[in-house]
Amino acid sequence: MRVLLCLLALLSFADASAQCSMCRAVLESGADLDTAKGINNGIIYLMAIPYLLVGFVGYKIFKLLNKR
C-alpha cells in the first residue's frame, strides 16, 4: 500500500519544473508553450524511470533475502 501511495505522489507532481534555466528560457521565449510543457513532461519521465527500476530491484532483493 505504501508503494502505491509513493507512486501516486510522484506522478501527481507532473507540473514540477525539471528543466534547467537555459532550456526554460529558450522554450518560454517562443510563442508555443505546449512545446515547453512537452519538454518538461519528457524530462520528468526520463528522471523517474531509473528511480523506479532501482526501487523494483531493491524490493526484489529484499524479498529474496527475507525468504530465509
Per-residue pLDDT of the chain (68 residues; tens, 9 = 90+): 777 777 777 666 655 555 566 676 766 677 677 777 777 788 888 888 999 999 999 999 999 999 87
**13 Cβ contact list (under 8 Å, min separation 6):** 44
The pLDDT of residue 46: 85
What is the per-residue pLDDT for 40?
Answer: 77
Per-residue confidence (pLDDT) for residue 12, from 0 to 100: 67
* Closest to 51 in 3D by CA, of 6, 13, 5, 2: 6
1-5 long-range contacts, CB within 8 A, separation 24+: 3/59
- How far apart (Å, rounded) are the C-alpha atoms in residues 45 and 5? 18
Q: What local confidence, expressed as pLDDT, does residue 18 receive?
A: 52
Q: What is the pLDDT of residue 60?
A: 94
